[in-house]
Amino acid sequence: MSQKNETVTLILALLITAALLGGGFWWFTRKSGINVSGVGSDGSNNNQNQQPQPTQTSAPTGSSTTFPPPTNVPSGTIVSISGSTSMVQINQVLKNSFELQFPGTTVDAKVGGTNQGIQSVLQGSADIAAISRPLTPQEQNQGIVALPIAKDEIAIVVGKGNSFQRGLTNQQVLGIFTGQITDWSAVGGDQGTIQVINRPPVSGTHQVFQELVLKGGNFGTTPNITTLPQDATTPLLRALKNDGIGYATYAQVANQKTVRTVAVDGLTPEAATYPYQRTLAYVYKEPASPQVQAFLGYVTSPQGQQAILRPQ
């Protein structure tokens, strides 16, 4: 046999031997459970020298992470909130109870509408946005998360002196706010123009009303529909007078002496099956700062939820 053939035969023998040894080693480690790389046969990490990782609660995009109730919040902590006018009372009661629970802390709550609150969080000028509509996919993709904190009803309201004393059907409400029904006599009232007082498009309540009541359609553009320049409830209620109709978060009008709510399909906002309900939420940007974690942990605690439910 030539030297060249002997060399080829030797190389083949070495390769076969290495393959047999490797296969045997693999079979042995599978059977015995020995792990030399830190990853077990079932994909788990068995490296005993690896440092344990902290546990973190996670949630799908657009939902909320759960924060534990705080036991201590450092004095000097400031939490800034901006957003929906629908959450003014909730913001105030949580501010009062949080500051009382943790002396030396400050909750600075401002209003300006849901959209403005979201932009403030994205720009870093606010820690939390108070919102009265769901986040859009585009907003979620910017790294912000909504934490639902309460349910709320949107009430249909008229002035106390309005001669219309009946309820409305869902279809009649739709017709009024789309401009198809413009006279009170068309819904069983006295003859006279229905003056519709609408919130501006930047209002979260406006946007939810458009989805819940108008089924995604647009508000009417008839001459009897007036859109306010700013999202504020008090000017809206004043503008109702004796012939107007509008809408507002129920918590803001429940105890008002100058207006009254109108039943829809025989149901008032207090009813569990009232048709115009929505979720109110606080929005924050991930990762949540220590002050955001502390405040939202308090908001979702039994004590915080009781504060929200307490009569205003």
Q: What is the pLDDT of residue 311?
A: 53
- Tell me the Ramachandran region of residue 268: left when phi exceeds 0, alpha when psi lies from -120 to 50, beta otherwise: beta
Residue 77 β-bridge partners: none
Question: Rounded distance, CA 37 to CA 45, Å?
Answer: 9
Question: Rounded distance, CA 197 to CA 211, Å?
Answer: 18
- Both structure tokens of 208: 């939810």
Q: Which residues touch 192 (CB under 8 Å, ≥6 apart)?
A: 183, 184, 185, 243
Q: What is the pLDDT of residue 94?
A: 97
Q: Which residues touch 110 (CB under 8 Å, ≥6 apart)?
A: 80, 81, 82, 126
Alpha helices in the chain (DSSP H): 3-32, 88-101, 114-123, 137-140, 170-177, 204-212, 233-240, 250-253, 290-299, 302-309
Question: Rounded distance, CA 97 to CA 103, Å?
Answer: 10
pLDDT in tens, the chain (312 residues): 444 445 445 454 544 444 444 444 444 334 333 232 233 333 333 333 333 222 222 222 334 478 999 999 999 999 999 999 889 999 999 999 999 999 999 999 999 899 999 999 999 999 999 999 999 999 999 999 999 999 899 999 999 999 999 999 999 999 999 999 999 999 999 999 999 999 999 899 999 999 999 999 999 999 999 999 999 999 999 999 999 999 999 988 998 999 999 999 999 999 999 999 999 999 999 999 999 999 999 999 999 999 998 755
Closest CA to 246 of 158, 143, 121: 158
Query: Could you give all domains of the chain from N- to C-terminal order, each with its CATH number?
Result: 78-151+280-309 (3.40.190.10), 153-277 (3.40.190.10)
